[in-house]
């Protein structure tokens, strides 16, 4: 059966972003630089310090990311990473962590289905929360 994992582009900030997410979610993080990859000789030297692939995996979260993309970056608000939390305590904690240096779009509020809020983190990624 297929699985779906977010694959994020950070355009030079991948290591910083993935370490930030690791601090929040825990798990195992692997980062491979272009200059350490088998494709090294096929890339210009100025890209060798860029992350070609990274992977953060915990029991409940899996995120992959890179600094490299085949197209120019255009951040938008059509995709959100949805965090479905176990309750108010967890949703507040994760919302507070991910909002550091970012911009709250909708503060956490009690809705008929539980807690809900959304934000753009300091790396321009959009998150929504339910708990």
Give 81-120 pLDDT, tens digit per residue.
999 999 999 999 999 999 999 999 999 999 988 999 999 9
95 is a domain residue: yes
CATH number for the domain including 22? 3.10.180.10
pTM listed for this prediction = 0.89
58 with 99, same domain? no
CATH number for the domain including 95? 3.30.720.110
Domain that holds residue 36: 7-66
Cα-based torsion angle of the residue sequence 122, 74, 12, 124 in order, rounded to the nearest 10 degrees = 10
SS3 content of the chain, % helix, strand, coil (to 5): 25, 35, 40
Judge whether residue 69 has pLDDT over 90: no
**Helix (H) or strand (E) run with residue 32 in it:** strand 28-33
User: How many domains does one find in the chain?
Assistant: 2
Q: Which two structure tokens, joined as six digits, stand for 121?
A: 């983190």
30 is a domain residue: yes
Q: Average pLDDT for residues 41-70, to the nearest whole number?
A: 92
102 is a domain residue: yes
């Amino acid at each position: 059966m297929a699985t779906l994992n977010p694959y994020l582009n950070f355009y030079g900030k991948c290591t910083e972003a993935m370490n930030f997410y690791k601090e929040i979610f825990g798990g195992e993080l692997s980062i491979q630089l272009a200059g350490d990859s088998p494709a090294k000789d096929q890339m210009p030297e100025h890209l060798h310090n860029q992350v070609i692939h990274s992977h953060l995996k915990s029991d409940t979260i899996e995120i992959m990311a890179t600094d490299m993309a085949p197209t120019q970056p255009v951040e938008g608000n059509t995709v959100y990473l949805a965090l479905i939390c176990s309750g108010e305590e967890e949703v507040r904690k994760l919302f507070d962590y991910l909002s550091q240096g970012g911009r709250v779009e909708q503060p956490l509020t009690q809705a008929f289905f539980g807690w809900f809020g959304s934000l753009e983190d300091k790396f321009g990624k959009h998150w929504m929360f339910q708990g």
